[in-house]
Amino acid sequence: MTKDNHISEALLEEAMDWFLELKARPNCRDTQARFRAWLGQSELHGQAWQTALRTWQLLGEVPPVHEHLWRGARPSVFVEPPVRQRRRMGTGGLVAGVALALAACLVLFVSLPSLLVWWQADHVTETAQNRTITLADGTIIEMGGGSAIATDISAGTRHVRLLKGEAYFNVARDPSRPFVVEAGGVEVSVLGTAFDVQLASTETTVELAHGTVAVSYSANAHKQNFELAPGEMATVSHATGAVLRSAIAADDIGAWRSGRMFVNDVTVAAAAERLQRYHSAWISIPQPDLAGRRVTGVYDLKDPDRALQALVQPFGGKVREVTPYGRILTRF
């Protein structure tokens, strides 16, 4: 199977957004012009679009939409992709607008774990599915729901890329081959230990159960390094490189393995993103003031709707069931 390691998931999601945008506005010249400009930014944009087309063809969308727009595209100026979260709408149109987006995106979301990372991943889990695998070196990896990893275990290398989600590593000791986990630009290097790594869209979190890990990442064009001791956790911001370190109880490290989600001073949006991996419905938070609130706590992954309610209730939030396959978190 041929894998493309150069197209980022973010770029693929932009291409998916453009597909939905073009479907929603088939005769809008402004949308078509902005799409042409986005497509022409680089060859990778074109490759991402081709991947999006193949994905939708697998879902029965044949023939490809708006073929005349993307044949022979040339590089152009930067244009932002359509971001549904940024659209402004009044209270009356909010739920209806998001409901339409949910209907359009449902099939795509359900298929993301297998369709967006299948060419990169060696092991994938579906929504709410936990899985344990053993690598050739004896390392045991427990994968959380909606997660994906790529592995490279050879005579001189032990390397794992966490492509999506969360995984708990119990690393077999081998002084001659350090074990490296890469997640969102953050690298965790060990010889033999047990730790949990969580990859979110904006940050990477490492929780150490026992042993020692060295964490490295790039910030402001400089390589940064630090070590964690048992009972410590650290969250690294992808955008700024800022590191939040704190203590964590042993029972809360990789708590998802026992059906619980532990979060420490994260945004509601980040917590909902983690809950999404255990919920069969699409989760949307259209109000930035609610999405940006910060929470600390333990939530029940076995009852994700109850967990969502517990997440937003302290801020006057509600969980609205638009359809059996859609949840909207709002403050009104």
Can you tell me the distance from the alpha carbon of 269 to that of 215, in angstroms, rounded to the nearest whole number? 25
Burial class (CB in 10 A: 0-12, 13-18, 19+), 15: buried
Domain final position from 115, 131, 157? 115
- Among residues 258, 293, 322, the one where a domain terminates is 258
Residue 2 domain-assigned (yes or no): no
75 plus 135 within the same structural domain: no
Domain region containing 244:
123-258
Reading the chain (332 residues) residue by residue, the pLDDT tens digits are 334 446 776 787 788 778 777 776 777 888 888 888 999 899 888 888 887 777 665 444 444 455 555 554 444 444 455 544 333 334 344 444 444 444 444 444 444 445 567 678 999 998 999 999 999 999 999 999 999 999 999 999 999 999 999 999 999 999 999 999 999 999 999 988 999 999 998 999 999 999 999 999 988 778 899 999 999 999 999 989 999 999 999 999 999 999 999 999 999 999 999 999 999 888 888 888 999 999 999 999 999 999 999 999 999 999 988 777 788 898 86
Is the same domain home to 154 and 169? yes
**Calpha distance 80→256 (Å, rounded):** 36
What pLDDT score was predicted for residue 277?
A: 93
Is the pTM higher than 0.75? no
Domain count, the chain: 3
Instruction: From 239, 258, 277, give the residue that closes a domain.
Output: 258
Indicate if 174 and 301 belong to the same structural domain.
no
Q: Determine how β-strand 123-124 pairs with β-strand 131-134.
A: unpaired
Name beta bridge partners: 150: 161
State the Cα–Cα distance between residues 307 and 299, nearest whole angstrom. Answer: 5
207 and 144 share one domain: yes
